[in-house]
Structure 1
Amino acid sequence: MALSADRNTPLKDGKEIPVPMAAGAKVYGGGIVVANATGYAAPGSTATTLTYLGRAEEQVDNTDGADGDKTVRVGRLKAFKFENSDADPVTQASLGKPCYIVDDQTVAATDGTSTRSAAGIVVGVESDGVWVE
Structure 2
Amino acid sequence: MALTADRNTQMKDGELIAVPVAANAVIHAGAMVAANATGFAVPGATATTLTYLGRAEEAVDATGYTDGVVQLLVRRGKAFKWKNSGSDAVTQASLGKDCYIVDDETVSKTNAGGNTQSVAGKVVGIDTDGVWVL
Specify if TM > 0.5. yes
| 1:62 paired residue number | 62
The equivalent residue for 2:49 is: 49
Q: Does the residue aligned with 1:46 lie in a helix, a strand or coil?
A: coil
Other-structure match for 2:14: 14
One-letter amino acid of the structure 1 residue matched with residue 115 of structure 2: S
SS of aligned partner of 1:93 = helix
Is 1:109 the counterpart of 2:109 in the alignment? yes
User: In structure 1, the residue corresponding to 2:103 is in which secondary structure?
Assistant: coil
Matches of residues 27-106 of structure 1 in structure 2 within 5 Å?
Answer: 27-106=27-106
* 1:63-114 Cα shifts (integer Å, max 9, x gaps): 1110001000000000000000001000000000110000000000001120
Alignment partner of 2:93: what SS? helix
Percent identity among equivalent residues? Answer: 62
In structure 2, runs of 5+ residues without a counterpart are none
The AA in structure 1 aligned to 2:4 is: S
Q: CA RMSD in A?
A: 0.5
Other-structure match for 2:119: 118
Q: Partner amino acid for 2:120?
A: A
2:23 aligned partner: 23
Partners of 2:94 and 2:7 lie apart in 1 by 42
CA distance in 2, matches of 1:123, 1:6: 39
Count of aligned pairs between the two proteins: 133
Could you tell me the TM-score, scaled by structure 2's length?
Answer: 0.98
| Amino acid aligned to 1:68 | G
Once residues 56 and 103 of structure 1 are traced to their aligned partners in structure 2, the CA distance between those partners, rounded to angstroms, is 14
Counterpart CA distance in 2 for 1:64 and 1:121 is 35
Deviations, residues 18-41 of structure 1 (Å, cap 9, x unaligned): 000000101001110000000000
